[in-house]
């Protein structure tokens, strides 16, 4: 019998791609989303790709009673992948309580329900932001967690601690935190992708919107960093690779293969690219010249961050298959599809 997986935030960017990957592997999916940063159209996109419409419950996970009632209604949930959260770093500085409520309370309410269940398997969306500027590159999972630069980053650190502490006293709770580096790109079919609301804060949606003529030019934040070309270095990972990693991690939990009941993995490509290299990759695959200008450094940016992926490669037997050009190509295709929709 196929396994039933709850995907919170399943209509969001990474969640929707993971729902596709799960359905393609034969999992049954139920999505919870409050549509605070997504749209019901995403359900159609998922269905067009997989020919299967996932179950969907519009529910705000900040409402503890609704979370409880959901788990009463769904007595058979084999695993939970928890994407739902607020993710804008700048907004978290302006409105920390929104971030602590949405990213911490929701996590606690779900764990409180899972703790009561026989077999609970849980995957948490964490972030490379927990490392801050690491002292050694590439970054392994053993690198120290640095004091968070933002309330958003802090919610990921606290979230991981909450899960680790809970797993210590609830041995039947099996959990994995996945620390994503910089997710980019879209499904190659362009049926789903990233939907940034307002002015994008992240590099790739800003690049594609600029190329589409919606923004005048890209500001490259800083060209005097101690890197080969002076711009910051990141590990850009295709969202398709990321989605597949969730399925692999889930299978590890379902098959009881984990060595400890709480584990942490980096998810990146292992390769760092500078902002200028990212622009070049975009220009190559799109055939477009991207207007950009150097600007001041952005507060809070680390100089360089890329993953040591040995643990994910060896333990999860997962490895990123796409490169930055593949990711840029799919992001550009998705942007062009959005433009057609808006016309
Ligand atoms: P997203 O905003 O596209 O998806 C999150 C989804 O959760 C949205 O559909 C939103 O409507 C929903 N949601 C938010 N609060 C909710 C609530 N209270 N109840 C129900 N639904 C709620 O974000 P994403 O980029 O897909 O990120 C998914 C997860 O990965 C987040 O936890 C994020 O912090 C983490 N993460 C993202 C990145 C990134 O760069 N995108 C990097 C590292 C970690
Ligand atoms: C990438 C590079 C910018 C925009 C953020 C969060 C992190 C994680 C991933 C969730 C940097 C430069 C960007 C622009 C630019 N999210 N840039 N001009 O900051 O590495 O990580 O998303 O957990 O927590 O902080 O990603 O895409 O914003 O920036 O020059 O207009 O592009 O300075 O070097 P970042 P990003």
Q: How far, in Å, is the centroid of ligand 2 from the Cα of 150?
A: 13
How many whole angstroms from 114 Cα to the centroid of ligand 1?
20
What the chain holds in terms of domains, given with CATH numbers, is: 4-185+237-268 (3.40.50.720)
Q: Which atom of ligand 1 is nearest to the CA of 42?
A: 9
Give counts: helices (H), strands (E), the chain.
12, 13
Task: Enumerate the active-site residues.
Answer: 152
Rounded Cα–Cα distance for residues 189 and 315 (Å): 30
Write the DSSP symbol of residue 225. S
pLDDT at 343: 64
Give backbone dihedrals phi and psi of 91, rounded to 5 degrees, phi first: -60, -35
Phi/psi of residue 238, nearest 5 degrees: -65, 135
**Which ligand is located closest to the Cα atom of residue 62?**
1
Would you list the DSSP string of 128-180?
GGGG-S-SSSSBPTTSPPPPPSSHHHHHHHHHHHHHHHHHHH-TTEEEEEEEE
Q: Which ligand is nearest to the CA of 129?
A: 2
Please report the pLDDT score of residue 323 as a whole number: 98
* pLDDT per position as a tens digit, 19-65: 999 999 999 999 999 999 999 999 999 999 999 999 999 999 999 99
Residue whose CA is at the smallest distance from ligand 1 atom 16 = 84
From the alpha carbon of 106, which atom of ligand 1 is closest?
18
Q: Which residues of the chain have pLDDT under 70?
A: 343
What is the 3-state composition of the chain as percent helix, strand, coil, each rounded to the nearest 5? 40, 20, 40
pLDDT digits (tens, 9 = 90+) for 211-234: 999 999 999 999 999 999 999 999
């Amino acid at each position: 019998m196929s396994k039933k997986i709850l995907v919170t935030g399943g209509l969001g960017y990474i969640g929707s791609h993971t729902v596709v990957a799960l359905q393609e592997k034969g999992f049954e999916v139920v999505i919870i989303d409050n549509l605070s940063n997504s749209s019901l159209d995403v359900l159609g996109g998922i269905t067009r790709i997989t020919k299967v419409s996932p179950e969907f419950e519009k529910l705000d996970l900040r409402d503890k009673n609704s979370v409880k009632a959901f788990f009463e209604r769904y007595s058979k949930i084999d695993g939970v992948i928890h994407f739902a959260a607020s993710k804008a770093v700048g907004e978290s500085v302006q409105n920390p309580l929104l971030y602590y409520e949405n990213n911490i309370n929701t996590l606690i309410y779900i764990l409180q329900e899972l703790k009561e269940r026989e077999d609970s398997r849980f995957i948490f969306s964490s972030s490379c932001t927990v490392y801050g500027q690491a002292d050694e590159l590439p970054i392994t999972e053993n690198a120290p967690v640095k004091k968070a630069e933002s309330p958003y980053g802090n919610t990921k650190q606290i979230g991981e601690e909450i899960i680790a502490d809970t797993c210590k006293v609830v041995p039947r709770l099996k959990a994995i935190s996945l620390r994503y580096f910089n997710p980019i790109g879209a499904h190659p079919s362009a049926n789903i992708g990233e939907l940034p609301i307002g002015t994008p804060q992240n590099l790739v949606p800003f690049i594609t919107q600029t190329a589409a003529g919606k923004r005048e030019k890209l500001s490259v934040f800083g060209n005097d960093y101690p890197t080969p070309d002076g711009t910051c270095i990141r590990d850009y990972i295709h969202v398709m690779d990321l989605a597949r990693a969730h399925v692999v991690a889930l299978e590890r939990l379902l098959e009881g293969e984990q060595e400890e009941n709480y584990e942490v993995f980096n998810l990146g490509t292992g390769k760092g690219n500078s902002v200028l290299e990212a622009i070049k990759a975009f220009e190559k695959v799109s055939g477009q010249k991207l207007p950009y200008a150097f600007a001041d450094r952005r507060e809070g940016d680390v100089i360089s961050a890329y993953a040591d992926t040995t643990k994910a490669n060896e333990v999860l037997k997962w490895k990123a298959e796409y490169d930055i050009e593949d990711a840029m190509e799919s992001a550009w295709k998705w942007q062009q599809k959005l433009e057609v929709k808006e016309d």
